[in-house]
């Protein structure tokens, strides 16, 4: 029988109504035998997610203080307890022991970074316990598979733990039984026996790793949107859901408005060519977006990414193009400052390096001094407030005229292109324009390249 791993995000398990939707989805296909769950997210009654409250308890109010909010650890404790109490009550399950254990965990004396990870993991841990009990109460043979019991082992990088290779064989073995496995996402166990969490949004990663380990036929990522949209639907209201995308296309689209799931979650699935289906728990009849290794393009561009808040460092010097190692020496300086570089279009006598504006904070003077000192440029300047609009699609490869149409449309709107860079795969063109033109530019490119 086919094996589907279904991961349900925080909004899908935020309250009893949502959990009932999850149940309906799970029972509607017998192949859905591995269910990964997040901690309860926010519904209309919550101001914060359970995981944030848990961080706040562990840090004695520090987590929200850092965000400029005044929520004490005691208030967060109340909120978490109230959330789980209402889940138990509204689902009509007998969960007194679950609530007792949760309360004991939230009073744990554990100290230091281990404390933060242990607390942060409790949202997923108890979400899985509640859901498993509810499923059993409704007649599903649901089996709780806790990371600490199934050998989901992770590195000791607390707060950003990485899955260790031993996990795969362990999971393959421990998840190979009947029934529906309910697996809490987001955390694992270190080899020393401590609980460590993956990066934020890490339940997606758990789902991807489980899919890889059990050689699943499909990894479903259930969330609260109908799939991956052509452009951020908050910016272009009539943008459509993309039915099918390759892993490479979604990587290229990865930017504002496309963060429907954790991109690292794709890495393992890609290795085994396991398709990923992004679906909407609130609209299960919608087919969502399929992310696959290969597809036949039926269009030129499939989506447009938009990235704001960029800057480019412009360098002019005679003979750059002929100086062997110039680009390497330049990029090494960015590396020394731990600044990640997005693109570096270059020409005979000049080069621009595009970076995140925020990454320059506190480093600009030192960076420019070092560039001056080691490379002695004729011109060196920083240009701020750049946006990149990047049409993406495998259909763009070998199609003449895409760049001309896009640039022509921007010209018609009097939008100046400051930088243009075509990705070497020919599946993406990056237009760098001033941020003040970004909204209009996106609308223009959407109309020209995507709108039917
Ligand atoms: N609960 C964790 C978070 O809020 C992980 C997840 O939901 O995927 O980041």
186 lines ligand 1 (CB under 6 A): yes
> Averaged in consecutive runs of 10 residues, what is the pLDDT profile of the chain (452 residues)?
94 98 98 98 94 98 95 97 98 98 97 96 98 98 98 97 97 94 98 97 96 97 94 92 94 72 86 96 97 93 94 94 92 96 91 95 97 96 96 92 95 95 90 96 96 82
pLDDT at residue 323, rounded to an integer: 87
Please check whether residue 184 is in contact with residue 243, taking contact to mean a CB–CB distance below 8 angstroms: no
CA dist 359 → 88, 251, 275, 356, 375 (Å): 45, 21, 34, 5, 22
Round to whole Å and give the CA distance between 413 and 409. 7
With a 6 Å cutoff on the Cβ, whether 208 touches ligand 1 is no
Instruction: Provide the residue ranges of all domains of the chain, joining segments of one domain with +.
Output: 4-292, 303-450
Query: 185 CB under 6 A from ligand 1?
Result: yes
Angstrom distance (rounded) from CA 443 to CA 439: 6
Query: For residues 367 and 334, is the Cβ–Cβ distance under 8 A?
Result: yes
Domain 303-450: CATH superfamily is VC0802-like (3.30.2130.10)
> Burial letters for 423-451: b for 16+ Cβ neighbours within 10 Å, e otherwise?
eeeebbbbbbbbeebbeebbebbbebbbe
- Domain at 4-292, CATH class: alpha beta
Pairwise CA distance, residues 159 & 192, whole Å:
16
Which pLDDT score, from 0 to 100, does residue 452 have?
79
pLDDT value for 1: 74
CA-nearest residue for atom 5, ligand 1, is: 201
Give the pLDDT confidence score for residue 261 in this predicted structure: 73
Q: What is the pLDDT of residue 257?
A: 57
How big is the chain, counted in residues? 452
Angle between the N-to-C axes of helices 112-137 and 16-27, in degrees from 0 to 180, rounded to the nearest 10: 60
Residue 369: helix, strand or coil by DSSP?
Answer: helix
Residue 209's pLDDT is 97
Query: Which numbered atom of ligand 1 lies nearest the CA of 200?
Result: 9
Structure-derived torsion over alpha carbons of residues 424, 425, 426, 431, reported in degrees to the nearest 10: -60
Q: Are the C-beta atoms of residues 404 and 422 closer than 8 Å to each other?
A: no
Q: Best of 35, 49, 200 to mutate for ligand 1, by most ligand atoms within 8 A of CB?
A: 200
Query: What pairs with residue 436 in β-bridges?
Result: none
- Determine the atom of ligand 1 nearest the C-alpha atom of 202: 8
Three-class secondary structure of residue 447 per DSSP: helix
Which pLDDT does position 259 carry in this prediction? 67
Q: What pTM value is reported for the model?
A: 0.91
Short-list 261, 219, 253, CA closest to 394: 253
Cα separation, 147 vs 167, in Å, equals 10
10 CB less than 6 Å from ligand 1?
A: yes
Ligand 1: centre distance to CA 200 (Å): 5
Ligand 1: atom nearest CA of 206 is: 8
Q: How far is the CA of 8 from the centre of ligand 1 (A)?
A: 11
């Amino acid at each position: 029988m086919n094996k589907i791993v279904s991961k349900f995000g925080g909004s899908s398990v935020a309250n009893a109504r949502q959990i009932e939707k999850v149940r309906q989805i799970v029972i509607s296909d017998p192949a859905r035998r591995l269910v990964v769950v997040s901690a309860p997210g926010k519904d209309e009654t919550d101001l914060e997610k359970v995981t944030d409250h848990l961080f706040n308890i562990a840090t004695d109010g520090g987590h929200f203080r850092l965000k400029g909010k005044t929520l004490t650890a005691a208030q967060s404790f109340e909120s978490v307890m109230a959330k789980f109490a209402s889940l138990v009550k509204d689902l009509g399950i007998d969960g007194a022991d679950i609530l007792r254990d949760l309360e004991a965990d939230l009073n744990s004396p554990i100290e230091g970074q281990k404390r933060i990870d242990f607390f942060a993991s409790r949202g997923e841990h108890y979400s899985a316990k509640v859901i498993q009990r509810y499923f059993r109460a409704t007649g599903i043979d649901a089996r709780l598979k806790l990371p600490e019991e199934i050998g989901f082992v992770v590195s000791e990088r607390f707060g950003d733990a990485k899955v260790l290779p031993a996990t795969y064989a362990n999971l393959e073995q421990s998840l190979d039984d009947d029934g529906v496995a309910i697996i809490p996402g987001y955390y694992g166990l270190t080899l020393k026996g401590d609980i460590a969490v993956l990066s934020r949004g890490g339940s997606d990663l758990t789902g991807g790793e489980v899919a890889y380990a059990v050689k699943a036929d499909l990894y479903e990522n259930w969330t609260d949107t109908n799939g991956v949209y052509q452009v951020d639907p908050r910016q272009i209201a009539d943008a459509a859901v993309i039915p099918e995308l390759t892993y490479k296309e979604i990587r290229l689209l990865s930017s504002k408005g496309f963060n429907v799931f954790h991109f690292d979650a794709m890495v393992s699935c890609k290795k085994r060519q396991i398709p990923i289906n992004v679906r909407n728990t609130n609209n299960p009849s919608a087919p969502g977006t399929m992310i696959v290794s290969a597809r036949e393009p039926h269009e030129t561009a499939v989506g447009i990414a938009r990235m704001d808040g960029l800057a480019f460092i412009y360098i002019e010097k005679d003979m750059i193009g002929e100086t062997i190692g110039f680009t390497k020496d330049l990029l090494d300086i960015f590396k020394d400052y731990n600044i990640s570089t997005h693109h570096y279009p270059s020409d005979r006598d000049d080069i621009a390096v595009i970076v995140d504006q925020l990454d320059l904070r506190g480093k600009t003077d030192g960076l420019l001094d070092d560039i001056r000192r080691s490379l002695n440029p004729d011109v060196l300047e920083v240009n701020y407030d750049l946006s990149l609009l990047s049409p993406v699609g495998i259909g763009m490869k070998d199609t003449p005229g895409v760049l001309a149409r896009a640039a022509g449309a921007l010209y018609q709107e009097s939008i100046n292109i400051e930088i243009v860079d075509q990705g070497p795969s020919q599946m993406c063109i990056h237009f760098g324009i001033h941020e003040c033109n970004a909204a209009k530019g996106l609308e223009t490119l959407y109309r020209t390249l995507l709108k039917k």
